[in-house]
A and B are shown apart, each in its own frame.
Chain A
Amino acid sequence: GQSLEQPSEVTAVEGAIVQINCTYQTSGFYGLSWYQQHDGGAPTFLSYNGLDGLEETGRFSSFLSRSDSYGYLLLQELQMKDSASYFCAVRDRGGGATNKLIFGTGTLLAVQP
């Protein structure tokens, strides 16, 4: 089966850096994605790692280590608007190009002034 583990909650202050970890167990692996969701709204795609290493997109970076079945999302220069839930997701073994994603349970990030 597939399982992904993330911390349930993280708190940080404005301007700081925060790292949200994700470990996964899957029968096949085709890459790790990250999504952001504000207050039960539509999840929005943030980043994708198909290979080991760091991907940077503005204030957000995502890292993957396939040998450790581990990845993280790094948020820098935190802003109040970054308060949201963050989900990691992996493509299911049969997913291929279908993006049939299995999601983690999410990490609620609270940014404090």
Chain B
Amino acid sequence: DADVTQTPRNRITKTGKRIMLECSQTKGHDRMYWYRQDPGLGLRLIYYSFDVKDINKGEISDGYSVSRQAQAKFSLSLESAIPNQTALYFCATSHPGTGGTGELFFGEGSRLTVL
């Protein structure tokens, strides 16, 4: 089983719908992240969380919200999806022990299409 699991892996929805992408991890890491990937734009940080009580905005948080339900769970919500939120979304984790190396552990991604 994957250490960082994202659900759903693929989702097609319509403009205006509320969407939640879920991430769970078995690595025991405190730190979790949501990134968005668009062709030619690389990975951009949406939100990150240091622990259950800590939530921080990244580069592109507008139109998104997150919830850290437990150490192992970090969900991303689009309250009213729009077509330019069509992208590949990645959840990632990191551990203080790897804090000096820039090592993130990524899930397999959730491909979201907004029509």
Contact = CB atoms under 8 A, between A and B. Distances in A.
A102 to B, nearest CB: 7
A33 B94 CA distance: 14
Interface stretch (A12-20, A42-50, A76-84): A42-50
A101 interface: yes
Q: In this complex, which of A31, A42, A102 has the most chain B Cβ atoms within 10 angstroms of its Cβ? A: A42
Contacts of A32: 102
Given A41-B109, A98-B50, A104 B42 contact: yes
B109 A40 contact: yes
Chain A contact residues: over half helix, strand or loop, or mixed? mixed
Contacts, number: 80
B79 interface: no
Interface of A: 8, 30-33, 35, 40-45, 48, 50, 87, 89-91, 96-106
A100 B90 contact: no
Given A98-B48, A100-B33, A42 B42 contact: no
B99 A89 contact: no
Contact of A33 (B41, B59, B102, B105): B102
Contacts of A96: 99
A20 B34 CA distance: 26
A37 B78 CA distance: 25
Interface in B42-92: 42-45, 48, 50, 58-59, 88, 90
